[in-house]
Amino acid sequence: MTQTGANDSVAEPLMMYAGAFHPAIGGETFTSTNPADGSVVARIPFGGAEDAKRAVDAAVEAFPAWSALTAAARARHLHRVADVLESRRDEIARLITREEGKPLHEAQGELQLSIDSLRWYGEEARRAYGSWIPDPLPGRRLLSVRQPVGVCGAIIPWNVPCAMIFRKAAPALAAGCTMVLKPAEATSAVALKVAEAFVEAELPAGVINFVTGKASAIGNVFLTDERIRKISFTGSTEIGRLLLKGAAEQIKRVSMELGGNAPVILFEDCDIEASIRAVAALKYLNAGQACIGANRIYVHDSIYDEVAEGLEKLATAMKVGDGTADGVRMGPLVDFKAVEKVEELVADAVKCGAQIRVGGCRMQGPDYENGSFYAPTVLTDVPASARLNREEIFGPVAALYRFTAEDEVLALANGVEYGLSAYIFTENMDRAIRVSERLETGMVGVNEIRIGAAEAPFGGVKASGLGREGGREGLDEYLETKLIAMRVKD
């Protein structure tokens, strides 16, 4: 068991598979650190292919009994896991903040989404209906039934380290699948804390298993072991492509939630004040490290200066610091590599002609000494040639572009390889519907930036991915449809 508790001592969690806790077979460990001050949060087992194989063995062994349970019985298990998360709410939220950096109120929101996913999918799987199909032939009956896909491999990133586990595990387990999950290196302690919750809730051994360590070695086991029937991945388009190619060999099912480059459009007829507040909240959420975050902010020429000024004011007033401190609205970036990437993108934009209205540098001062903090930034007059127009910024940099016509801005918004989310701000209902329909993205927020819920389908088109997490559609990802055709004597 781990020693992570209310105090902030260095935790030494173990991997969890076959219902028990294990060090890496090779005995190696690595550390995860607190991005707010560089302190060590946990020493994590550095597993590899052999550890992953044992976890797959456990998931394979658990599958027949788990999938044979009634959906109602599986739902009771998921509710018990949700109960444990509720009882450990503060402890887990605090660990999310220490290891990932997001402010405590955001970590608590993440935990709530985790609990909602467990409860909602537990119930939704009870409605995984098949159908009795009207038959064109006499003497035959056609029946379709829904069955679990099988053993699944899941790979998740660091920016939503807790809820991402449940966005995948809740529908998978509810559907009757079993799972092996690999968290991101940077946030492995959160994942292993969650693994403890599954054990505490007495989920049958092997139904879910957590392996930490070498990503490529563990990923390769998911790709090459024929017993893994599906891979669910959230992360970069680059790694997604690699996994898709690998999955092609054994024709595995896949769900891919990949990169984004969200356009945000402020039309001249928007509620300017409310829109500015919404854009700032979206942009600086998780210090800009969200795949649905605002990447390109298009502002109508007639309101451009007012919006730039409003965003500048909010960015200047934003309290930045250790996410566990009172009143902090934005924490550090996940590590210094992330800071360097943002610095590079901002330097490139400035070289191309963008103006820095506020920020554009690391946070200065004694509170920020060993933390990977970057200041809330607003750039104006960003030219289309800047790299951050095409690339996901993944940092707290609001990049503002000008436009004058609806068709023009739609072409700009759709003119990238990604298609995850988009946001529009307008008080004109016709325009809201027309533009929402023409945006090439999986999700559109209309005067609304909170687009996620356990009940709603989340996912992208184009290079942003395949499949949906959340909602009815999220359960379909873990179900196969089987046709049973029967001869019936009169």
Active site residues: 257, 291
Among 103, 219, 293, 471, binds ligand ADP (CB under 6 A): 219
Minimum separation from the CB atom of position 392 to ligand ADP (A): 9
Binding residues with ligand ADP: total (CB under 6 A): 13
Cβ closer to ligand ADP: 83 or 335? 335
User: Is 216 an interacting residue with respect to ligand ADP (CB under 6 A)?
Assistant: yes
Per-residue mark of binding to ligand ADP, 148-187 (x: CB under 6 A)? -------xxx------------------------x-xx--
CA-closest candidate to residue 323, choices 273, 289, 352: 289
Based on the shown chain and the rule CB under 6 A, indicate whether residue 235 belongs to the binding site for ligand ADP.
Answer: yes
Paired with 20 in beta bridges are 17
Structure tokens at 114: 């985790």
Does residue 391 belong to the site contacting ligand ADP (CB under 6 A)? no
C-alpha closest to that of 470 among 292, 341, 326: 292
Cα 321 to chain centroid distance, Å, stands at 23
CB of 223 to ligand ADP, least distance (A): 8
One-character DSSP codes across 365-402: SGGGTTS--B--EEEES--TTSHHHHS---SSEEEEEE
Neighbour-count burial of 3, counting CB atoms closer than 10 A to its CB (0-12 exposed, 13-18 middle, 19+ buried): exposed
The binder of ligand ADP chosen from 215, 350, 461, 466 (CB under 6 A): 215
Q: Which of 223/410 has CB closer to ligand ADP?
A: 223
Could you tell me which residues come within 8 angstroms of residue 253 by beta carbon, excluding any fewer than 6 positions away?
149, 229, 230, 231, 477
> Which residues, numbered 17-56, are part of the site for ligand ADP (CB under 6 A)?
none
User: Using CA atoms, how far apart are residues 168 and 179, in angstroms rounded to an integer?
Assistant: 9
Nearer to ligand ADP, 148 or 259 (CB): 259
Binding segment toward ligand ADP, per CB under 6 A, in 232-240, 296-304, 344-352, 409-417: 232-240
> In the window 350-369, what residues touch ligand ADP (CB under 6 A)?
none
- Shortest gap between Cβ of 345 and ligand ADP (angstroms)? 14
What is the largest distance, in Å, between two alpha-carbon atoms of the chain? 86
Task: Return the number of the residue (201 or 242) whose C-beta is nearest ligand ADP.
Answer: 242
∠ Cα 100 370 335 (to 5°): 35
**Spatial separation of the C-alpha atoms in residues 7 and 5, rounded to whole Å:** 5
Q: Which is nearer to ligand ADP, 189 or 432 (CB)?
A: 189
Smallest gap from residue 115 Cβ to ligand ADP (A): 23
Query: Cβ of residue 293: shortest distance to ligand ADP, in angstroms?
Result: 13
Q: How far is the CB of 14 from ligand ADP (least distance, A)?
A: 18
Rounded CA separation 80/19 (Å) = 16
Q: How far apart are CA 466 and CA 71, in angstroms?
A: 26
- Positions in the binding site for ligand ADP (CB under 6 A): 155-157, 182, 184-185, 215-216, 219, 235-236, 239, 242
